[in-house]
Amino acid sequence: MNIELAAIRLTEAAAARVAAFVSDKPGSVGLRFGVRRTGCSGWAYTVDLADAIAADDHVFDLHGVRIVVDQRSLPLVAGTEIDFARKGLNAEFVFRNPNVKGECGCGESFSTS
């Protein structure tokens, strides 16, 4: 896969939130972003702190933070923009993934075919 086409994008708001998470956990090397099988549509995003970078991970350095994506997840999240939005009292990461073809009614999972 062309890494240029696979690039993950991160808004400044999301970068600030990720930087805060990483600074709160010494030893973290960045944010791990990927997918897992679940839900009625097939895939759900996973977001966690990365403690290490594996040999087959793809690393994106954006706005001073590092996003780590495993090889299996990359084709499903390639081109995704990660944002962070506040809506009233709630705050959440928002994913704009050009690979998504459908989402379940509750919004917890997505499909790419």
Residue ranges of domains in the chain: 3-111
Handedness of CA 14, 16, 87, 107 (dihedral sign): positive
Q: What is the pLDDT of residue 34?
A: 94
What CATH topology corresponds to 3-111? Hypothetical Protein Aq_1857; Chain: A; (2.60.300)
SS3 41: coil
pLDDT of the residue at 5: 52
DSSP single-letter state for residue 2: -
Number of residues written out for the chain:
113
Residue 2: its pLDDT value, please?
47
Walking along the chain (113 residues) 10 residues at a time, the average pLDDT comes out as: 68 95 93 88 89 95 94 93 92 90 72 79
Would you state the pLDDT for residue 32? 97
pLDDT for res 80: 94
pLDDT of residue 67: 96
Residue 107: the pLDDT is 61
